[in-house]
Structure formats: structure tokens, C-alpha cells
Structure 1
Amino acid sequence: MASALLPAVQLTPQTPNIPAFYLDHYRRKFAARVAAGEARPLVIPYSLAGPLILPVLYLAIPHTKRPWLYRARFVVAAAMLALNAWTAATTSSTNMAVAYGVGLMAVFGSFWGLAVVVFMRVQFESARVEMRPRKMKKNDVGEAGPDEQAGGGGGGGFVYAVIDGQPVPDESVAATIGEYEYYWQTYPETGSFLQRLDWVWDLYTSFRGTGWTHAIPSIPSPTRPKDPHSSPPPAVDLSSIPLATRTGYHRSQTRASFHRNRLLHMLWSYLILDLWTITARHDPYFIPGPVPNTPLPPLPPLLASLPPPLLSVLRTALGSLGILAALGLYMNLYQLLAFSLLRGSSNSPRGQLWQYPSIFGSFPRTVLTRGLAGLWGGWWHQTFRLGFTAPTVFAVRRGWLDARPRAASTRLLALFVAFLLSGALHAAGGYTAIPHTTRARGPLAFFVGSFAGVVAQTAACALCRPWIERVPRPWRGVGNALFVALWMHATMGAVVEDMSRAGLWLYEPVPVSVVRLVGVGGMQGEGWWRWDRQFLPRWYSGRHWWESGIRL
């Protein structure tokens, strides 16, 4: 109802804290829409029905010997898509990051749900690394010393210890190898419902496929078996897990190195985000963002004195840095918490170090050697890769596309589909945000533009290969880095502006502001504690019992 909406934002030169002003306006606007029955908050478990609960429950029911149930996957997929569309159309949050995340959840939940339910034959083909008690007694042959633990990548230096004649990849495996054996577990069709649910839950929540036969090639993984359904189940060759892949994704061999690495990344990300919030928010480009036909608040004197090209570069760099630091903080925190919670489960590989490879690849091995293609195909976190490539893989398996490994048409289409889906994913984040000023064409233009950049650079390098090969390798790296920087600067403004209009930068990424605590920066009324009750989970009572739950 239009009457439930607040009037447009009215700023005055005396407004002391523009970000706080906009945050309060957006929150009151959403509260009015909820009260009018036009919107609903994100509620767990109700809002997870489409992206998580329905596909997981369906896959927990055996269908390999029930053709009618297997055919019902299309009905399940349709219901899943309908629920996700309903969530995207009606749900948001007063937490600006959650509001943006609703769209990501609904759209990627659709992509990933389709991949697992329809495109992949998981009950027929997928298998994961599992462990079971072994009858043999522990008989240590020898253990590797500290010098042997620091090896190179791509298949060398991966042995942490040799126990009972078996090379093991890290100390978490070494603690179990004497009592347990590792094998490839297919769908436990004859197991209990809880056993099947555990298998499906692990598959559905392992977006990169860690520990599965369908793991993405970027991360360190054991060699896949030729036939995981053979009897007895094939053993896992743990010694085949490389310390690092050719794109630079690496694993830790000791708990101390894992914790040190993740905590260090979190520390730098935390400090960067803390500084980011008191720096970028002074620029109205980020708060409230460039809205068509709406003048921005005046620039601070320092920014107003910068030449427009330099100001544009600064904004692109700040936007990129904010995104990268947020991913670094929360993804490393997730790994740290997941490993810490599961390491007590000594009979599950999910609590072992090799299951938690690094978030990003190696910048020198990817971007400096392959340019824009290396940035997206190797260095970037690859979390959504399986969902983005599943449609093309399915089309190849059905014979609709050329199945030859180097078929240019198939590779080009796969690349375009992946970037297009990524654009749709980020456009959905803006759609579910409280401000209705985002434009889907911004994220779509950025990611389709990245596709064009990858194709253009790859084609140019292929045509100029005889001349490029004469250039010393370090200078080739400089050229790749320069091309990536220029292309990203030329295109990234589209997605950063859309995030600005979505109010995403109003989110307080850290609860305690160290910078504000020591009295540096900040705006009027801002203290060192940054999270109010809108940032914390709380109970929500809906109009129906199934709509009640934990509100985010």
C-alpha cells in the first residue's frame, strides 16, 4: 500500500550523520511495509524452505530404484523455484547485508537446487570421502619431521607423516589413520534416514565439492576413483591430495598453521573494514549511491578537490577493497568456526584440515600469468562455480553441445552462462534490498563485461603469441596486471553503484570499531560498539505458525 510508505528522503545541510540518517529511513520504510502486510522479514526456518529444506528432504529419500520418484524431481524443482521467487518478491531485512543476501540466497538457491536435483545424478553417481573403524592395529613406520612438512604445490611436498606405511596429508588425518580407514561412500540407500540426511546435507552445503567426487579442480582433492560404486567401496588415496593446486589454493598441514593463517586473514580484513566504514561513508557515492534524477549530497572538501578521473579510480578501489575484505573476514571466520566445531568429531572427515582449503588462489599464479581469465577462473573464491557450470555440463552430457574437451563453442558458451548467472545473482541482491532504486542492468553489465574482457584478452594473446613469447615473463605479468586493473576500473563501477543504491555499505561489518575506540574518525553520535539489536537474531511471530521463527 502506498500509504504505508515513507516520503522521500529530505536532507538538509545540517544533517550531521548522513549514513545514520539513511539507515534509519530505510528501516522505518521496511517496518511500515511489514506492518502493512506488503513485506516480511527473513525468518528461519520458513525462508529456507525453497533454497535448502525442500531439495535436501527430497534427496534424502532414495529414488534410484523408484523411477516415478526420480521423475518427480521436476515437480520438486518447480516448487523450489516458486518458493524462491516468493521469497525474493516478499522478503527483506532491516539488516542491510541480510537484505542483500536474501536475493543471493533465493537465486543461488535456485541455481544450486537445480544443479543438485535436476542436472546432477547425485544418488547414482556422487560419492564422498568417509571413514570407518579398521581392524588393523596401529603400527607406525615413521613420521615426517618439520622440514618435510613445508613442500611445494601441485603434487609435491604433501606428506605430513607416514603411519602404518601410509603417507598422510595432515596432522588431523595422522591422528586417525591407525584406527580408521578411508573409503568413497556413495549414497547410503539402505541406511537410516538420518544417515541419508547427513550424506545429502554434506553434499548440498559443500558448494565447492570439498571431499566429493565432483569437487572443483581448483582445490586440493584426492584422486577420484574410476568407479565409486564398485564392491567393496574403493579406498581413498589420501597421499594424492596436493599441498597446493596449480592455481594456488592450498591446505594447512597442522592445526596451528590453519588457525594462524585464518586468524591473520581475519585480522587484516577486520582492520580494513573498520577503516573502510569511516572513510568511504563520507562519500555520497557510497551513501546513498547515484540515483537517477536525484542529486547527491555535497562532497566533502577533500574529495571535491580531486580531479574527476582520480576520484573515479579511488571509488573503484574502495569498492573493490570493501568487497574483498568482507569476503576475507566472513569466509575465513566460517572455516574457522566450522573446523573448530567439527574437529571434536574424530570419526568424520568433515573435521579434518584438508577439507578446508584456502578461500582464494594465488594472485601470481593466476592473474599475472593468465590475466582476467586467471582472476575469475583461478584466483577468485570459486564458491558458486559448480552451480554456474552445471547447466552446460548437463547439456554436454545430454549431447546437446560438443563434448570434445577443447571444443571452443562449448567452452565459450559455458563461460558466458557462468558470467550471466553471476550477474543475475548480484542483481537479485539489489532487488531484495529495501531501497527500490537498484537496476539489474548494472550487475549484468559488469559480469557480461567481464566475459567480454576474458574473450578479448584471450583472443588477443592467441593472435599475438609469437610476439608475446619474446617478452620476458615478469613484463608479461605486468601487462596482465595492468589489463586487469584497467578493465576492472572501466566496468566495476556498475556493480559498486548498484550495491550503493541497495544500501549495502550501510551495514556495520564489525561489532567493535577499534578505530573509533581510539578516537580516530567516525561521525557524530558514533561509538565504538557498532551493532544494535537489528544486527542480532531475534524471535519473530508471524501471522501463521509456520511463519514464526528466528528473524535476521
Structure 2
Amino acid sequence: MADPRTSFSRYLTEKNESELHVLLKQGVFKPLFLYHVVSFNFLPWVALLIPKRQGGQYFRRLVLALNLAYGIEALRTNRALLGGNGYMIGMLVAWWLIWSATLFVFSDVERDFQRIERTTTDIDGPGLKPGREISSRANTMHSDVDNHAQFYWQAYPSKFTHRIEWCAGLLFNLRGPEWNWRAPRLGPIPKTVNEQLKSGFLSKHHRIENDASCLTAKVRLRRAFRTCLTSYLILDALKVIMMRDPYFRGTVEVDVVPPLPFSFLASIPLGVRFYHCFFSCMGVYIALNFVTSFNPICFLGLSLAFPNASRKLTGAPLDSAWLYADSFGPFFSPTLDHGLAGAWGQWWHQLFRYGFTATARWVLSLLPTSWGTKSDVKRVTYIVIGFALSGFVHACGSYTQFKGTRPLTGPFSFFFLQSLAIIVEYTFKAVIVPKTPMSSTPRWLRRTTNATIVFFWLLLSGGLIADDFARGGLWLMEPVPFSPLRGFGLANGQGWWCWQGTWFAYWSDGTYWGSGVRVI
């Protein structure tokens, strides 16, 4: 007999699909077509390919305006259930608008961006492989004894075929591991690579280690496979737990005792809140680890398996292990030593960091010079803008979910409050503490205080976003195609295969623009 609690989770998913189908038929919402997704991503790529001397800057502004117009329309009317009950629609649209503005307005693509590229050398002597160009900032390079490679900075290419993959690498990149805007918290750059680049950018902002201390490509690939498998199994376990709990099925306003073995938490003050926040955080953390593990598996794995094809397709050194750092940093040391700022800035993923900081930098450029150059003003601007944009991205995801959510008072408030808490934390530590006897407290006491503040602050504020995740049906999605736990009977009646129904279907309202392959 099927467990009614787990069966009800699947029933809710099917019910949402039926309700959305009716609303689409009535014209309340519009379907999300595949051509929407393709054009939203393809147009910025085309805009990047056109140099400024050929009118590229005007076309980029036009594409940004078109994407902004469509993005607003998509947030208002386009709905699909794929991706967390529609959560990914709003989240990706919001981020893509921020990223497009970063590339087209806040930056000059041809002046500001450079990528680390590699050219092979002849064994008999140095020399660039024919067909590969070097930017004006490239310098005399030393060959790597292992693969006879030379590394250099490549600016906006003049050759069109080179520009195609260079622009694609810039557009579809989040942390920039091979770019001059490389996220600060990525792994070490090999010393030999940095010596060849000699621009000083990496040596100022990143750890430089001897090649012997860096992970090899095969070790990095094995770690990625291990992370992928471990995350898969944990996601399966989290899904089984969440299927049995009414809270994660959307019953947020009613106090419900958690299912066994967590029912004892109901007798502990804040116990149920901790349980909900913890599993919500774990769900996001493990899901991101799982998804991002495919980056090294696909790109590093394929470049190792087909090295010649990889080097013909792109100048980026895709077989270099230092491109594939872990998505999350260490948790304990940053949190214990730096509190909230350490937890958010050094532990949590930095996938959207450059888009947020570029926006903050642009805002600072609009301020009077006497303000924009002050360290405190810059610090507050970066913190507030960064968390406000993060709140905007997650609020848009909440807004496009096919359920009654609270985007402003939920996810946006959660992230914006984090910025205020970090500012208060910094002010207290930098201004108040040095003037009191607490400045000489032992390290263990400071760490204990940081841990206590972080724990209770996130526990109290975490409900804003955790409740909205549950309310919007984010946890109704099936994260894995087949479930070992459910297959062995830990969720009665579920079976091994989890992905039921279809993801895509043809839809037509009788018009040209209203017809196509719909994302379900």
C-alpha cells in the first residue's frame, strides 16, 4: 500500500499541472516556449559578437532593451512548473537582466575583459600555434614542461571565429575562473601560469601556489564524481523526508508536528523552526553542489578524453584543474572568525558575485567623488547593493511560482536584512569593540560569540525564505530521476523511477507567436 503522505506529494504536482493548464487555456497566463529561452540567451551573444566600430554598442543597448521588455512580460505572464514549480523562470530572468546590464552598460566588453588562453608550442622550440592570436597585453611566455603550453591574456578577439567562442565563454560564465574578473574565493593559480601572465592581477587578488601543491586534473575529476554521487544520494534522502512532511508540501500557516524521527523537536522551543530552516538550507546547498559538479565532469572530463578537439574548439585551458574550484568554501573557519560576513562572503556560493559587484561599482560611479572614494561608503554600497540584488533575483523566482507566495516580505526581506545585519556586525566590531575591554577577549570567546550570533540570526530570519520556498511548492520538484531509497521501499508505493509525465509538449493558440514547444 502506498504511503498516503508520499502519494499526496505526487498528487499535488499533478493537481498543479491541471490547474496551470486550465489557466493557460483561459488566457490568464501564457506558456513558456522553448524559443523564448533560446532567443533570450541567443540575442546577447549575437550582440557581443559585433564590435563597437561596427555599431556594436548601439545593438547591445537595443538587445538589452528587448530583453528587459521580454523579461518584464515573462515575469508577469509566462508560467511553467519545471524548475521548482516555476521558480527558475523568475530567478533566471532576473539574473540574466542583471548580467546583460553588467556586460552592456556597466562595462566595456572590448576594454575591460580578458581571458586566460593557451597555445601549444612546438617541442623543437617556442612558437605560437598558427591561427591563435595574442592580445596587446600578452608577453613573452615560458613553456610549461608538462604540456608545452603557453598562457597569455586574450582581449576581445579581432578574428570572428575566435570571437564566437570567446564571447560565449564570457556570456555563459558565472565565476570567471579563467577571466580577469575571476572570483576571489576560487582555488590557487599555479605559479607557472601566473609567471607567464605577469599582469599582476592574479597575484594581487588570488593565492599563488606551486604547481605541485595544486590538484591535478584527474584528482579534481574524481572529486567531482564523488561530490556528484554523494549529493545525489543526499538529495534522494532529503526528498523522502520532505515528502512525508506537510510543511514542505506547502502547509506553512498551520503548525504541524514533524514526522518521525523529528517529532521530538515539537517539544523544544524553536525546535521546529530549526528543523524547517536546516532542511531548507540543506536542500539548496546539496542541490547546488550536485548541479555544479557537472561543470568539471563535463568540461574537464571531455577535455581530458578528447584533448585535440577541446583545443580546437576553444583557447581556454579547459583541461586545467585550477578552473574547477568547489562551489562552496569552508564553513567553520570563516564563520567562527568573521561571523555573518564570513558565512556569506567566504562559505556560501559566489555564483552571482561579479554581476552584483559590477552593479555596485556602477552605482558608486554615479556618486560625487568625495563620497564614492570613501572606504565606508564603498563597503556599505557593495553590501547593500549585493544583497538587494540577491533578494531581487530570489523574489522574482518566488513571484513566478505557481502558488501564492510573498516575494517582498519573504526572500527579498531575508536577503536585505542580511546586509543590515552585516553592517551592524561590522560597525560593532570595528567601532565599538576597540573602545571597550572586549577588544582583548580571547580567541575562543570571540569565535563562540560569532557562532552564537550567526546561528540565532539565521534561525530567526531564515523562516522568511524557508516558508516562502515551501509555500511556493519548490520542494515538490523531483531532484533525481530514480530513487534508491524509494526503490528499496522506504517510501511505500513510489517505486524506482521518479520523473513522471512529460517536460515538453506542443502548444498552439492559433497564432504564430502563440505556437511552439511549451515547457511544462
Quick one: distance in 1 between partners of 2:363 and 2:277?
A: 37
Structure 1 residue 89 and structure 2 residue 87: aligned?
A: no
Report the equivalent of 2:493. 525
Query: Pick from 222, 232, 257: which aligns with 1:260?
Result: 222
Deviation at 1:96, TM superposition (A): 4.5
Query: In the alignment, is the contact (CA less than 8 A) between 1:104 and 1:428 conserved in 2?
Result: yes
Deviation at 1:356, TM superposition (A): 1.3
Query: Pick from 33, 45, 48: which aligns with 1:56?
Result: 45
Please list, as runs of the form range in 1=range in 2, the aligned pairs for 1:31-50 lying within 5 A after superposition.
31-50=21-40
Query: In the alignment, is the contact (CA less than 8 A) between 1:47 and 1:87 conserved in 2?
Result: no
Secondary structure of the equivalent of 2:464? helix
Report the equivalent of 2:271. 310
In structure 2, runs of 5+ residues without a counterpart are 127-140
TM-score of the aligned structures, taking structure 2 as reference length: 0.83
Identity of aligned residues (%): 25
Report the equivalent of 1:112. 99
Q: Mark the CA change 1:491 to 1:297 in structure 2 (over 3 Å): closer, same or farther.
A: closer
Report the equivalent of 1:30. 20
Structure 1 residue 499 and structure 2 residue 469: aligned?
A: yes
Report the equivalent of 1:21. 11
Quick one: distance in 1 between partners of 2:262 and 2:65?
A: 50
Query: In the alignment, is the contact (CA less than 8 A) between 1:541 and 1:549 conserved in 2?
Result: yes
Deviation at 1:260, TM superposition (A): 2.4
Q: Quick one: which amino acid aligns to residue 152 of structure 2?
A: Y
Secondary structure of the equivalent of 1:184? strand
CA root-mean-square deviation: 3.4
Query: Pick from 257, 276, 284: which aligns with 2:246?
Result: 284
Deviation at 1:39, TM superposition (A): 3.0
> Higher mean Cα deviation, 120-129 or 539-548?
539-548
Q: Deviations over 1:142-200 (max 9, x none)?
A: xxxxxxxxxxxxxxxxxxxxxxx9586xxxxx653x1x322211111x312x3222111
Secondary structure of the equivalent of 1:371? helix
Secondary structure of the equivalent of 2:246? coil
Report the equivalent of 1:346. 311
Quick one: distance in 1 between partners of 2:257 and 2:16?
A: 21
Q: Quick one: which amino acid aligns to residue 346 of structure 1?
A: R
Secondary structure of the equivalent of 2:293? helix
Query: In the alignment, is the contact (CA less than 8 A) between 2:142 and 2:150 conserved in 1?
Result: no
> Higher mean Cα deviation, 320-329 or 341-350?
341-350
Query: In the alignment, is the contact (CA less than 8 A) between 1:422 and 1:447 conserved in 2?
Result: yes
Q: Quick one: which amino acid aligns to residue 480 of structure 1?
A: N
Deviation at 1:201, TM superposition (A): 0.9
Query: Pick from 184, 187, 196: which aligns with 2:153?
Result: 184
Q: Mark the CA change 1:364 to 1:404 in structure 2 (over 3 Å): closer, same or farther.
A: farther
Secondary structure of the equivalent of 2:249? coil
Deviation at 1:510, TM superposition (A): 1.4
Report the equivalent of 2:506. 540
Report the equivalent of 2:112. 125
Deviation at 1:127, TM superposition (A): 1.0
Q: Mark the CA change 1:464 to 1:504 in structure 2 (over 3 Å): closer, same or farther.
A: same
Deviation at 1:357, TM superposition (A): 1.4
Query: In the alignment, is the contact (CA less than 8 A) between 1:222 and 1:236 conserved in 2?
Result: no
Q: Quick one: which amino acid aligns to residue 56 of structure 1?
A: W
Q: Mark the CA change 1:530 to 1:235 in structure 2 (over 3 Å): closer, same or farther.
A: same
Query: Pick from 195, 219, 239: which aligns with 2:162?
Result: 195
Relative contact order: is structure 1 or structure 2 higher (C-alpha 8 Å, sep ≥ 6)? 2
Deviation at 1:441, TM superposition (A): 1.6
Secondary structure of the equivalent of 1:183? strand
Structure 1 residue 360 and structure 2 residue 350: aligned?
A: no
Quick one: distance in 2 between partners of 1:258 and 1:280?
A: 32
Quick one: distance in 1 between partners of 2:484 and 2:7?
A: 20
Quick one: distance in 2 between partners of 1:71 and 1:509?
A: 42
Report the equivalent of 1:484. 454
In structure 1, runs of 5+ residues without a counterpart are 1-12, 140-164, 169-173, 225-233
Query: In the alignment, is the contact (CA less than 8 A) between 2:44 and 2:60 conserved in 1?
Result: no
Query: Pick from 182, 193, 198: which aligns with 1:215?
Result: 182
Quick one: distance in 1 between partners of 2:117 and 2:262?
A: 56
Q: Deviations over 1:301-349 (max 9, x none)?
A: 8766622521121111111111111111111123322322344213533
Quick one: distance in 2 between partners of 1:395 and 1:127?
A: 23
Secondary structure of the equivalent of 2:68? helix
Deviation at 1:106, TM superposition (A): 0.6
Q: Deviations over 1:356-393 (max 9, x none)?
A: 11111122342121110011111111000111121221
Deviation at 1:460, TM superposition (A): 1.7
Report the equivalent of 2:478. 508
Deviation at 1:541, TM superposition (A): 4.7
Quick one: distance in 2 between partners of 1:265 and 1:121?
A: 37
Please list, as runs of the form range in 1=range in 2, the aligned pairs for 1:97-496 lying within 5 A after superposition.
97=84, 99-135=86-122, 137=124, 175-176=146-147, 178=148, 180-188=149-157, 190-192=158-160, 194-220=161-187, 236-237=197-198, 253-290=215-252, 300=259, 306-307=266-267, 308-343=269-304, 344=306, 345-346=310-311, 348-352=315-319, 353-397=321-365, 400=368, 407-462=375-430, 463-465=432-434, 467-496=437-466
Q: Quick one: which amino acid aligns to residue 47 of structure 1?
A: V
Structure with the higher fraction of residues in helix conformation: 2
Query: In the alignment, is the contact (CA less than 8 A) between 1:284 and 1:298 conserved in 2?
Result: no
Query: In the alignment, is the contact (CA less than 8 A) between 2:106 and 2:359 conserved in 1?
Result: yes
Secondary structure of the equivalent of 2:270? helix
Quick one: distance in 2 between partners of 1:381 and 1:15?
A: 33
Quick one: distance in 2 between partners of 1:376 and 1:16?
A: 34
Q: Mark the CA change 1:505 to 1:401 in structure 2 (over 3 Å): closer, same or farther.
A: farther
Q: Mark the CA change 1:79 to 1:185 in structure 2 (over 3 Å): closer, same or farther.
A: same
Alignment coverage as a number of residue pairs? 485
Q: Mark the CA change 1:281 to 1:498 in structure 2 (over 3 Å): closer, same or farther.
A: same
Q: Mark the CA change 1:166 to 1:61 in structure 2 (over 3 Å): closer, same or farther.
A: closer
Quick one: distance in 1 between partners of 2:236 and 2:5?
A: 23
Query: In the alignment, is the contact (CA less than 8 A) between 1:316 and 1:492 conserved in 2?
Result: yes
Quick one: distance in 1 between partners of 2:190 and 2:112?
A: 16
Q: Quick one: which amino acid aligns to residue 351 of structure 1?
A: L
Secondary structure of the equivalent of 2:311? coil
Secondary structure of the equivalent of 2:179? coil
Deviation at 1:420, TM superposition (A): 0.8
Quick one: distance in 1 between partners of 2:226 and 2:447?
A: 27
Query: In the alignment, is the contact (CA less than 8 A) between 1:43 and 1:540 conserved in 2?
Result: no
Q: Mark the CA change 1:252 to 1:438 in structure 2 (over 3 Å): closer, same or farther.
A: farther
